[in-house]
Amino acid sequence: MTNVRHFLDIDRLDTGTLRHILDRAATIKKNIDAHRSALAGRTLAMIFEKPSTRTRVSFEVGMRQLGGDVVVLKPDDMQLGRGETIGDTARVLSRYVDAVMVRTMGEERVHELAKHASIPIINGLTDQSHPCQIMADLLTFEEHRGPITGKVVAWSGDANNVAVSWIHAAVRFDFEIRVACPEQFGPSPALLEWARNEKRGRVVHVKDPEDAVRNADCVVTDTWVSMNNTDVEERHAGLAPYQVNEQLMSLANSDALFMHCLPAHRGEEVTDGVIDGPHSVVWDEAENRLHAQKAILAWCLGAKI
């Protein structure tokens, strides 16, 4: 099991491997038909313990476009929801399918699957990180603006799982990220310490969104309330000043991109004028989930691209 290629988090892979996956994603996107049989005869199991639109559709379509097959599992479909251990589930699925993508709550569930599986495990999202999304975001940025190394990305809003993976990416791909959010919704001290110790990229936590966005090459935000959050009123009150609107966006570079992983709550974390405006690449970003994840699947399963 030591040679199994898991895709668990961006910080768990080296820069060379991540660059290889990103370059393969660009190659796959340029010629979809050339890779229709890359994963022929392979089957991906997808476990959804959280609702999904983009993750569900992009992984299923992506696997099929590579010639593979898909099995979709929800908690009510599995013995995992009736007391079977994660380890036993991993061992059984390893005998049936070639890889597992899991969208779940705590990252410990993904790591437990990987510990006991003899096949690749892919983190489709946890409360702690969203690495597949950020690979799509990096692909989108580089399509529009070239290599992201040395660029400046500004995050405004809750430092959630998507922001965590952006921080991981800043370190691995050597760019600057400025995270603007109130202290109570900021990145964890442990994450900032990890970034400092890695000595690559530059991760800055600021409280003023204008300080983050000024002269940035890309501005990113996400919903203020995630599926596991119960402090709705506190979040709306604390994060209202971090809305990405036209005035805030005007402080970024004139050719800056705007990104949002979707779904968006228009009028809350972002205005219509920004998400539908000339800086926005959110639909390219959504499409690139498909291509980035095909590259992740190909890498995990050793397919030649």
Tokens for 76? 């009510």
Active-site amino acid positions = 103, 130, 133, 222, 261, 289
